[in-house]
Amino acid sequence: MSDIIARIEGVAGRITLNRPKALNALTWDMALDIEAALDAWADDDAVQVVIIDAAGEKAFCSGGDIAEIYATGKAGNYAYGQRFWRDEYRLNRKIYHYDKPIVSFMQGYTMGGGVGVGCHGSHRIVGETTQIAMPETSIGLVPDVGGSLILATAPGHVGEYLGLTGSRINAADAIYANFADAFVPEDQWNVLKDQLCDTGNLGLIDDAAQEFQGGMLRENQTAIDAVFGADDVFAACKDDTTEVIQSAAKKMSRNAPLALQVTLGLIRAVRADPTIETALDHEFRYTFRSAQFGDFIEGIRAAIIDRDRTPVWKHATIADVSDADIAQMTAPLGSDALIWET
């Protein structure tokens, strides 16, 4: 069976991610198939709304399927990954600008590439099991798939906190940080999907939405802003004894120093010009170079291939990352830059 099930039901175009045993990790072909479905429905008057969901209970989409990018990059073929990310980012932008409502239902793990598929639509629904994260710095990447735009526009400096630590957040925090719009109990999702297919009435989402308690971001906003809004976040962490900050420092200590430094600058650059194009352009500068010059290959080796969880990063500490190192990963790409349709 296909990894993407695209069909029309009633007035809805429906896309279901269908790799539950792989936690619906997004492959290159899946990204292209989602884009093809969206293109087919863009001018189809029979389709009033698009619904994106996923098979299985554990994950909406746990991230990009990066095993092939690792294998090709380790062999010195960097073009494969570069093409994958180029096509994936085009999809992310298409979802963001799509002229018809896109309703996503995001259960379980929604991370990395899953954020790119599920969190740029117009109506983003989360449930009791939702765990959203941008954990890229733990594998030597930066928050991408347009995720840096969400981080840049989150309240205060929550974006820096989430992007640098890779922390997982629940439904309440996802709504607070602007990764999602509404909490609907998951036992009501199928009924809501059927109603949307029958009527296209988006007001049904508001009718079904409920409050969800238990977020930690709002209550820790002051502490997060004090540290993650500092010019030198990493030094500020060392001087703060707040529990949430000490936990954040421990998480960051495991992540790639180069990726951390670039992520901090990335989020702040996008905050100054908060568009999806700016976000994707800056992200691509790093991911384009990540296998050749960054820590991506080592990060995937430690996390996915050998699973020893002991990556040997190019820089031992944050202090070892020079301005030249950052510039090498963030300079404009010239003729290799992303080109958008007008």
pTM: predicted TM-score of the whole model, two decimal places = 0.97
pLDDT at position 121 over 80:
yes
d(CA 115, CA 245): 25
pLDDT of residue 66: 86
Which two tokens mark 154?
A: 């989150």
Assess contact for 192 and 184: CB atoms under 8 A: yes
pLDDT at position 183 over 90:
yes
pLDDT of residue 1: 64
Assess contact for 198 and 10: CB atoms under 8 A: yes
- For the chain, the average pLDDT equals 96
Kindly state the percentage of the chain with pLDDT values over 70.
Answer: 99
pLDDT digits (tens, 9 = 90+) for 18-61: 999 999 999 999 999 999 999 999 999 999 999 999 999 999 99
pLDDT digits (tens, 9 = 90+) for 49-81: 999 999 999 999 999 888 889 999 999 999 999
CATH 3.40.190.10 assigned to domain 1-342? The reply is no
Instruction: Give residue limits of the domains in the chain.
Output: 1-342
pLDDT of residue 261: 98
Please state the separation of Cα 28 from the chain's center in Å.
16
pLDDT of residue 104: 98
Q: Which residues contact 69 (CB under 8 A, 6 or more apart)?
A: 80, 81, 84, 291, 296, 300
Backbone angles phi, psi at 13, to 5 degrees: -85, 125
What kind and span of H or E run contains 72? helix 67-74
